[in-house]
């Protein structure tokens, strides 16, 4: 794990049991610093760890997105954030941000190859955004955790612009193989959802866009037990030749069948995650040469 | 007189010894701090228990420094019904939940409080007040109107000001911050504004067509504003870029937002009645750090939903989004 990333914050810091006289100032300062920056909840030995994999790339709203996502994740016990930059090197912005959150994290990076033939030095459009980064995180998990490790864990792919309720993380914690739930604002609908029968089994997909996909579900709509990831080391997201909307299927078909899916969120009747997207900010007043101080980080 | 090295060493040794003795004498001095220590332990245990019970909610504001309460930050958020409303309020509440001594005043642009917002606030874990104030029909946006045609949220923010003036006592400390439901706030921002004496200011990211807008500071005072849009405004800054001390608002009951203000002048319509630009207090390291961003959320594409609804096969309206 990079840079320590020790998530344990000793909440007992304010409970110093030394008997010698502490001045009033000492007690107040110890307690004050505990709250200036938030800390995650205390680590529990009984809760499975949720490994949240977030691919990210540099653009003006990046720091804002990651700040508010971190503010969400800070409420979740036993959370390990795997942030994977689409970049040649790990950037100082992300390094500083991760360190300052106090979260338990791992900072990785891999650059999606650029297609120099395209105008504007675009990334290779045949590789869906985030794929290489998610695959790197899966590889990291497989290299870090032994197959027969008893450390229970859940893997969740959380893009940096979605919105997640805290309840979602508790729903996914009980995942045995792959659990699923509805996602709002995808596929041109208010929400897409798995179809669940009276026996609590998933038998189809309530979507308009290609409901016959093997897994017609958004990246934010499922979580995988770490054990399954480790036992199927060949399962990755397919890099190329993937039709739009089939990314998720390319991984899930290596892991489970429809029958094995575990519906969460009250048998898939509650919305606990929203596929929000952030507008590209208008920077027209920067002009060609830039108006604001480039040394001020946004 | 010749200085012998031996003498230097002796003097050094003696001075160190005296210093050490003084320090040792300080330790073990009898003093009755037991009550403080026990009170700290008790508070710490209660906090731990509360956090474990609430699954992470940060609980009630704590007293510190000999019983003086921390100034409460009143966060005023106007909100209106649209598909992303719940998502926006959920993620905003997750940020606010990290801030101690905070009171969230949510004002719906609606004729009555809605069940969606009521439920959300009740389960958010944030201390709140739920108000509503309907934008009059002539000021409402019609389909096709550009978003900037009418200033939004003026009536709702004024409603919150009225609540504060009706319910807070003149001696109450506190800071008022107008936080829209789609911006992004760092937790540190709230600690920066807590010490506001009159009106404090700081940079805002991604606004005014720029990477950031910010007050210009020299010698610890605001001497101008760095903005690319309408810099002639008395206070050329965004709603997210300032906070007002509650006592100041209570002292000036006439200070309100002007719903008919020209585009970009809404902030000035309030601030002009409260302070002059020289009185502004710069925060965020003399206005060099961006702790808040004027993010905007895309309107979700609901074309398939609209099509299904036309066919009478829309998604279950009972499933709240």
Q: What is the ipTM of this complex?
A: 0.86
The total number of residues written for chain B in this structure:
321
CA distance A270 to chain B (A): 6
Classify residue B43 by burial, with Cβ atoms within 10 Å: 0-12, 13-18, 19+. middle
A279 vs B: CB within 8 A: yes
Q: What are phi and psi of B207, to 5 degrees?
A: -145, 160
Cβ <8 Å between B191 and A68: no
Taking a contact as any Cβ pair under 8 Å apart, which residues of chain A between 158 and 187 contact chain B?
A: 163-166, 170, 182, 184-185, 187
Q: Is B267 a catalytic residue?
A: yes
Cβ <8 Å between A279 and B293: no
Contacts of B236 by beta carbon, 8 Å cutoff, 6+ apart: B213, B225, B227, B229, B230, B264, B268
Pairs across A and B, CB distance < 8 A: 205
Closest-CA residue of B relative to A169 is B55
CA distance A143 to chain B (A): 32
Q: Which of B259, B257, B278, B275 shows the shortest CA–CA distance to B267?
A: B257
- Catalytic choice (B155, B192, B267, B281): B267
Instruction: Select from A36, A206, A284 the Cβ nearest to the Cβ of B191.
Output: A36
Distance CA B66, CA B195 (A): 18
Closest-CA residue of A relative to B57 is A75
Cβ <8 Å between A64 and B206: yes
A283 vs B: CB within 8 A: yes
Structure tokens at B95: 């940020």
Distance CA A28, CA A25 (A): 5
A248-A254-A259-A265 Cα dihedral, nearest 10 degrees: -40
The predicted structure's pLDDT at residue B30? 53
Render pLDDT for A244-278 as a digit per residue (tens, 0 to 9).
899 999 999 999 999 999 999 999 999 999 999 99
B295 vs A: CB within 8 A: yes
Q: Which long-range contacts (CB under 8 A, 24 or more apart) does A237-240 make?
A: A237/A131, A237/A134, A237/A135, A238/A131, A239/A127, A239/A131, A239/A132, A239/A135, A240/A126, A240/A127
Cβ <8 Å between B321 and A65: no
The predicted structure's pLDDT at residue A148? 86
Contacts of B217 by beta carbon, 8 Å cutoff, 6+ apart: B223, B282, B286, B287
The predicted structure's pLDDT at residue B149? 65
* Residues contributing to the annotated binding site of A: 55-57, 86, 129, 134, 159-161, 275-277
The predicted structure's pLDDT at residue A199? 95
CA pseudo-torsion sign B22, B24, B25, B30: positive
Closest-CA residue of A relative to B95 is A71
CA angle B130, B134, B137 (to 5 degrees): 170
The predicted structure's pLDDT at residue B67? 42
Cβ <8 Å between B210 and A24: no
Q: Sorting pLDDT into bands at 50, 70 and 90, what band is A128?
A: confident
Distance CA B97, CA B94 (A): 5
Give CA separation, B40 vs B61, B62, B63, in Å.
15, 11, 11
The predicted structure's pLDDT at residue A79? 98
Task: Summarize the confidence of residues A54-77 as an average pLDDT.
Answer: 97
A108-A75-B85-A217 Cα dihedral, nearest 10 degrees: 50
CA pseudo-torsion sign A297, A54, A189, B317: negative
Distance CA A129, CA A6 (A): 30
Asked if residue B266 lies in contact with residue A271, where contact means CB atoms within 8 angstroms, the answer is: no
A127 vs B: CB within 8 A: no
Contacts of B169 by beta carbon, 8 Å cutoff, 6+ apart: none
The total number of residues written for chain A in this structure:
298
Instruction: Please indicate, yes or no, whether the overall pTM of this predicted structure exceeds 0.90.
Output: no
Higher pLDDT, B99 or A148: B99
CA distance B87 to chain A (A): 6
Buried b (16+ CB within 10 A) or exposed e, A127-150: bbebbbbbbbbbebbbeebeeeee
CA distance A15 to chain B (A): 5
The predicted structure's pLDDT at residue B39? 52
Asked if residue B250 lies in contact with residue B256, where contact means CB atoms within 8 angstroms, the answer is: no
Does residue B152 have a known ligand-binding role?
yes
CA angle A202, A223, A274 (to 5 degrees): 90
Half-sphere exposure of A94 (CA within 13 A, CB side): 27
CA angle B167, B170, B171 (to 5 degrees): 115
Is the pLDDT score of A183 beyond 80? yes
Element (H, E) at B225: strand B221-226
Is the pLDDT score of A4 beyond 90? no
Q: Which of A10-19, A206-215, A230-239, A289-298 has the lowest average pLDDT?
A: A10-19
Contacts of A157 by beta carbon, 8 Å cutoff, 6+ apart: A53, A54, A134, A219, A220
Flag residues of chain B having pLDDT under 70. 1, 27-68, 147-151
Distance CA A184, CA A191 (A): 4
Cβ <8 Å between B66 and A24: yes
Distance CA B238, CA B233 (A): 11
The residue written with tokens 């360190």 in the block is A99
Cβ <8 Å between B290 and A298: yes
Q: β-strand A191-196 against B63-64: which pairing, if any?
A: unpaired
Taking a contact as any Cβ pair under 8 Å apart, which residues of chain A between 144 and 163 contact chain B?
A: 163
CA A262 to chain centre: 20
């Amino acid at each position: 794990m990079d840079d320590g990333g020790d998530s344990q914050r000793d909440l007992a810091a304010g409970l110093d049991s030394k008997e010698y006289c502490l001045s009033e100032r000492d007690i107040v300062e110890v307690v004050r610093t505990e709250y200036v920056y938030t800390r995650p909840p205390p680590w529990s030995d009984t809760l499975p760890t949720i490994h949240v994999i977030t691919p990210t790339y540099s653009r003006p709203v990046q720091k804002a997105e990651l700040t508010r996502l971190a503010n969400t994740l800070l409420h979740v016990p036993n959370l390990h954030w795997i942030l994977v930059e689409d970049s040649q090197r790990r950037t100082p912005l992300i390094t500083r941000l991760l360190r300052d959150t106090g979260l338990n994290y791992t900072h990785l990076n891999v650059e999606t190859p650029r297609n120099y033939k395209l105008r504007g030095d675009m990334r290779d459009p045949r590789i869906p955004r985030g794929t290489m980064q998610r695959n790197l995180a899966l590889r990291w998990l497989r290299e870090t955790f032994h197959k027969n490790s008893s450390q229970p864990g859940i893997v969740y792919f959380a893009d940096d612009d979605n919105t997640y309720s805290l309840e979602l993380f508790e729903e996914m914690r009980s995942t045995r193989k792959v659990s699923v739930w509805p996602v709002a604002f995808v596929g041109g609908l208010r929400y897409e959802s798995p179809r669940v029968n009276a026996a609590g089994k998933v038998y189809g997909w309530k979507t308009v866009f290609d409901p016959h996909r093997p897994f017609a579900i958004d990246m934010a709509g499922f979580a995988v037990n770490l054990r399954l990831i480790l036992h199927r080391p060949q399962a990755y997201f397919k890099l190329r030749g993937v039709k739009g909307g089939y990314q998720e299927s390319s991984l899930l078909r290596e892991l489970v069948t429809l029958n094995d899916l575990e519906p969460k969120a009250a048998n898939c009747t509650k919305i606990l995650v929203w596929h929000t997207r952030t507008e590209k900010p208008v920077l027209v007043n920067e002009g060609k040469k830039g108006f604001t101080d480039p040394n001020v980080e946004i | 007189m010749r200085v012998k090295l031996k003498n230097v060493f002796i003097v050094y040794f003696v001075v160190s010894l005296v210093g050490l003795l003084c320090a040792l004498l300080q330790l073990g001095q009898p003093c009755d701090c037991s009550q403080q220590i026990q009170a700290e332990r008790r508070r710490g245990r209660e906090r731990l228990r509360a956090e474990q019970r609430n699954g992470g909610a940060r609980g009630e504001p704590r007293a510190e420094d000999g019983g003086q309460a921390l100034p409460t930050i009143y966060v005023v958020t106007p909100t209106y019904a649209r598909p992303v409303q719940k998502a926006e309020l959920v993620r905003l509440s997750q940020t606010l939940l990290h801030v101690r001594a905070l009171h969230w005043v949510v004002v719906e642009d609606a004729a009555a409080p809605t069940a969606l917002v009521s439920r959300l606030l009740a389960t958010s874990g944030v201390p709140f007040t739920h108000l509503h104030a309907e934008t009059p029909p002539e000021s409402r946006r019609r389909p096709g109107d550009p978003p900037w045609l009418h200033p939004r949220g003026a009536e709702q923010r004024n409603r919150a000001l009225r609540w504060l003036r009706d319910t807070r006592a003149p001696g109450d400390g506190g800071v008022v911050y107008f936080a829209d439901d789609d911006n992004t706030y760092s937790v540190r921002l709230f600690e920066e504004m807590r010490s506001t004496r009159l009106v404090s200011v700081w940079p805002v990211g991604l606004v005014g067509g720029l990477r950031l807008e910010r007050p210009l500071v020299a010698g610890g005072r605001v001497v101008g504003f760095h903005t690319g849009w309408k810099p002639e405004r008395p206070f050329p800054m965004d709603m997210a870029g300032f906070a007002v001390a509650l006592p100041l608002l209570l002292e000036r009951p006439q200070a309100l937002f002007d719903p008919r203000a020209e585009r970009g002048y809404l902030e000035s319509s309030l601030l002009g009645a409260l302070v002059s630009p020289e009185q502004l207090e710069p925060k965020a390291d003399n206005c060099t750090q961006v702790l808040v961003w004027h993010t905007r959320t895309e309107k979700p594409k609901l074309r398939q939903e609209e099509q299904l609804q036309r066919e009478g096969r829309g998604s279950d309206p009972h499933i709240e989004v």
